[in-house]
Amino acid sequence: MAYRLPPCETERRRLVLCTRPLPLKPGSRCSNKSTLFTSVRGSRDLVSFSFTHTPEETCPARAMPSEEPNGCSMELKEGIDNSTFQDEESGDVEQGCAPEETAPQEDRDSGFKQIKPYAGMPKEVLLLYSSQPCYRLPREILFWLTIMLTLALIALTITVIALSPRCLSWWQSSTVYQIYPRSFMDSDNDGVGDLRGIKEKLDHFEYLNIKAVWISPFYKSPMKDFGYDVEDFREIDPLFGTMQDFEDLLAAMHDRGLKLIMDYIPNHTSDRHRWFQLSRNRTQNYEDYYIWANCSRTKPPNNWVSIFGNSSWTYDEDRGQCFLHQFLKEQPDLNFRNPRVIKEMNDVLHFWLEKGVDGFRMDAVKHMLEAPHLRNEPQVDPEQPPDTVDTEFELYHDYTTSQPGLHDIIRGWRVELDKYSREPGRYRFMVTESYDYEEIDKTMMYYGTSFVRESDFPFNFYLLYLPKYLSGQGAFDLVNLWMSNMPEGKWPNWVVGNHDKPRISSSAGAEFVRAINMMLLTLPGTPTTYYGEEIGMENVNVTEIQDPFGKFDPNSTRDPQRTPMQWSAAENAGFSTNKTWLPVHPDYKTVNVEAQKNESESVLQQYRALSLLREAELALQRGWMCYVWSDKDVFAFVRELDGLSRAFLVVLNFGRDAVTDLSWVAGLPDELTVHMSTRYAARGERRRKARLETARGEGLLLEYSTQRRLNSNPAFKCFVSEKACYLSELDILYKC
């Protein structure tokens, strides 16, 4: 309630208190108090008045609850208990604005007492003291201190964020381990591996310090191409188990912090897929789900050939047209120029992403689009009679691979994956599969650009050629091929084996397995390990060919590298008690996980030690790689991180016994310490840089301490992807 005083001068007076019942008596003189407290209607409510006036001013005939113009305003606040106040004022509620005749000035003043703040004092009263210097000064100091501290905290937070390097994601910090599910572990003893079998063996990944597991296809499939011919993208093949088995496996993996990467097969389906059945009988909306072209029973539309040999066209009696298949005739190619197909396949991605799958390996992506004009592809040898052209390598694939529009599709998948990557720690990973051979620039395109991302990395298959170019120089060339073609800032990766290529241990020779594993785990970027490579499994000579590619060309059979995992010396290497779908390697009695766990310095033990070291050492995880040497025998490189004195020199011998002189490398100390040798040297031994001896097939990992960096010396060629520097004083990494 606001009361108005009569017109008065605006002289502000000192702060005092008085009490008085309302209403004010007409004609009484206002006291020179700027705030009055009183009881309202005899109650114990506190009323405060704020006003300015002269000491001798006459009170109005009545106190008016009005907005009288030119009046001094008094503000009345109700509802506050005044009892304490009144007690302190000796209960005199008649003091204050007394009538002029009956209350001399001194009496009036004596009725108003100055009081001190006390605990529990009403806020309004407390506020009266707030302008006094003894309260105001500390208050202001505190206020500015708080502001300054807040600003300093904000500045510190921004600095920390700006200086923090990016953390490595799970697909960067872990090795990717590939499981071929038919061959990993058979839980139901039907001779074929399955999902429950994988779940039984999860300890193996913990032992190896591996966090990312890629499982080759386990979709429902007639198994013409062992799962790469998908009949239903939303079902598990009974051979591998049930959807419940899959969900259990995924949950068990997530419980252990393991990530599951699935195969995604966009280029083709099985001819048993519902879409193909609907397409071949021209059901509305499905007519163009696949690539159909007019042809006769005997003459295909053009000279295109399948990767598995012979024409890539097959005449379909039902539809009276030919359909395209870049692989088996039981694997018709989907038509990715049809938006319905794109949508269907995106839905498949969502289906598995919803289930919680952590990433996908995109199969055969370069084959996804074909030129709509269907012209013949040029022959590699123009003189070759056209009707004898029946293999992939006899044509230039100008119209069947890497067609314009392909990368738009892959970017589209990235968008879908990103939608599921927003929660912390739930990044969904994508790796693409494309063999581009000498056209490495085509492979690099799957990285996308710095603005539009595609896959996290395309598989780097170039080290698969190491056996062909086996030498120090060969290893350098293959490593450098990737590093010097990879777009800046992208993340490298290395593959030395998979289900499509002979095991490198067989093609390079068992004596090189350890050095190859050392190279794989010490190069910068993500290593991929095909099951069994951690124990040095070798190809098996399979006489009864199962692989359809092998049936076309026995030299191309992929059976030898797909044989059962060798777990122990038990029957069938502990994989199954039944006849296994492919034979077990006869060396399983000694080459198996159990035996190698018990044998120090085994291939498995060394693999594990390297895997643990890779995680523990920042220089190996995300440091620079600088080449220091390559010749016909030896390839050597350094891993170092700015600010970190501990660094590593890796010396790999892919030739004959050798002595390497690195005395000219000023950044290396004269003596280095052996961290690991795949051969004879013991940990802790000292080696002189002027005389680094390595035996054929030896991998030597030396550690040293230095403040001199190779990467700052232009004489050395160095690479780094996720650059960071180490600050030893604070034990932190920062952006540099």
Instruction: Answer whether the bond into residue 23 is a cis peptide, omega within 30°.
Output: yes
Instruction: Decide the pairing of beta strands 692-694 and 658-660.
Output: antiparallel
Residue 500 Cβ vs ligand NOJ, minimum distance, rounded to whole Å: 5
Q: Residue 190 touches which of Mg ion, ligand NOJ, none (CB < 5 to 8 A by kind)? A: Mg ion
Q: Residue 192 touches which of Mg ion, ligand NOJ, none (CB < 5 to 8 A by kind)? A: Mg ion
Q: 3-state DSSP helix/strand/coil percent for the chain, to nearest 5?
A: 30, 20, 50
Contacting ligand NOJ (CB under 6 A), which of 57, 225, 533, 642? 225
Residue 560 Cβ vs ligand NOJ, minimum distance, rounded to whole Å: 14
Residues in binding contact with ligand NOJ, number by CB under 6 A: 9
What is the strand order of the sheet 526-530 is part of?
457-458, 429-432, 359-362, 259-264, 212-215, 176-179, 526-530, 493-495
The answer to whether residues 212 and 259 touch, using CB atoms and an 8 Å cutoff, is yes
Q: Residue 364 touches which of ligand NOJ, Mg ion, none (CB < 5 to 8 A by kind)? A: ligand NOJ
Residues 253-272 close enough to bind ligand NOJ by CB under 6 A: 265
Residue 265 Cβ vs ligand NOJ, minimum distance, rounded to whole Å: 6
Q: Residue 228 touches which of Mg ion, ligand NOJ, none (CB < 5 to 8 A by kind)? A: ligand NOJ
Asked whether position 363 contacts ligand NOJ by CB under 6 A, the answer is yes
Residue 352 Cβ vs ligand NOJ, minimum distance, rounded to whole Å: 17
Residue 457 vs 726, nearer CB to ligand NOJ: 457
Dist CA 625 CA 710 (whole Å): 9
**Residue 36: closest CA among 71, 67, 105, 82:** 82
Residue 553 Cβ vs ligand NOJ, minimum distance, rounded to whole Å: 13
H-state helical runs in 555-650: 593-597, 603-616, 618-622
Please confirm, yes or no, whether 661 is among the known catalytic residues: no
- Alpha carbon dihedral 107, 108, 114, 115, in 10-degree steps, equals 90
CA-only gyration radius of the chain, Å = 41
Q: How many CB atoms lie within 10 A of CB 107?
A: 11
Strand partners, 2: 75
With residue 548 as reference, give the H or E element that holds it: helix 548-552
The answer to whether residues 46 and 37 touch, using CB atoms and an 8 Å cutoff, is yes
Which stretches of 103-231 are assigned E, i.e. beta strand? 176-179, 212-215, 219-220
- Rounded to 5°, angle at Cα 192 from 190 and 198: 110
Asked whether position 190 contacts Mg ion by CB under 5 A, the answer is yes
Contacting ligand NOJ (CB under 6 A), which of 213, 364, 604, 649? 364
Residue 194 vs 231, nearer CB to Mg ion: 194
Contacting ligand NOJ (CB under 6 A), which of 235, 416, 500, 587? 500
Asked whether position 109 contacts ligand NOJ by CB under 6 A, the answer is no
Residue length of the chain: 736
Strand partners, 692: 660
Residue 434 vs 611, nearer CB to ligand NOJ: 434
User: Nearest to Mg ion by Cβ — which residue?
Assistant: 194
Asked whether position 358 contacts Mg ion by CB under 5 A, the answer is no
Asked whether position 186 contacts Mg ion by CB under 5 A, the answer is yes
Residue 182 vs 501, nearer CB to Mg ion: 182
Asked whether position 245 contacts Mg ion by CB under 5 A, the answer is no
Convert residues 312-331 into a mask of x (bound to ligand NOJ by CB under 6 A) and - (unbound).
---------------x----
User: Nearest to ligand NOJ by Cβ — which residue?
Assistant: 228
Residue 364 Cβ vs ligand NOJ, minimum distance, rounded to whole Å: 4
Residue 21 vs 502, nearer CB to ligand NOJ: 502
- Rounded to 5°, angle at Cα 360 from 355 and 363: 135
Asked whether position 722 contacts ligand NOJ by CB under 6 A, the answer is no
Residue 354 Cβ vs ligand NOJ, minimum distance, rounded to whole Å: 24
Instruction: Decide the pairing of beta strands 646-653 and 692-694.
Output: unpaired
Contacting Mg ion (CB under 5 A), which of 188, 248, 287, 394? 188
Contacts (Cβ under 8 Å, ≥6 apart) of 143: none
Contacting Mg ion (CB under 5 A), which of 192, 250, 496, 504? 192
Strand partners, 259: 212
Contacts (Cβ under 8 Å, ≥6 apart) of 166: 722
Catalytic: which of 229, 316, 330, 363?
363
**C-alpha dist (Å) from residue 175 to 258, 419, 496, 522:** 11, 25, 12, 11
Asked whether position 431 contacts ligand NOJ by CB under 6 A, the answer is no
Asked whether position 194 contacts Mg ion by CB under 5 A, the answer is yes
Options 34-42, 179-187, 299-307, 710-718: segment touching Mg ion (CB under 5 A): 179-187
Residue 239 Cβ vs Mg ion, minimum distance, rounded to whole Å: 7
Contacting ligand NOJ (CB under 6 A), which of 180, 205, 228, 482? 228
The answer to whether residues 505 and 561 touch, using CB atoms and an 8 Å cutoff, is no
Catalytic: which of 45, 433, 436, 698?
433
Strand partners, 290: 334
Asked whether position 435 contacts ligand NOJ by CB under 6 A, the answer is no
**DSSP per position, 486-508:** SPTTPPPEEE---TTS--HHHHH
Amino acid making up residue 581: W
Q: Residue 186 touches which of ligand NOJ, Mg ion, none (CB < 5 to 8 A by kind)? A: Mg ion
User: What does DSSP assign to residue 607?
Assistant: H
List the end-to-end C-alpha distance of the chain, in Å, as a whole number: 65
**Residue 533: closest CA among 210, 256, 262:** 210
Please confirm, yes or no, whether 433 is among the known catalytic residues: yes
Residue 188 vs 439, nearer CB to Mg ion: 188
Amino acid making up residue 276: F
Residues 34-63 close enough to bind Mg ion by CB under 5 A: none
Q: Residue 194 touches which of ligand NOJ, Mg ion, none (CB < 5 to 8 A by kind)? A: Mg ion
Residues in binding contact with Mg ion, number by CB under 5 A: 5
Asked whether position 363 contacts Mg ion by CB under 5 A, the answer is no
Residue 306 Cβ vs ligand NOJ, minimum distance, rounded to whole Å: 10
Name the phi and psi angles at 522, rounded to 5. -115, -10
Residue 188 vs 248, nearer CB to Mg ion: 188
Give me the residues that bind ligand NOJ (CB under 6 A), please: 225, 228, 265, 327, 363-364, 433, 499-500
Report, as residue numbers or ranges, the catalytic residues: 363, 433
Give me the residues that bind Mg ion (CB under 5 A), please: 186, 188, 190, 192, 194
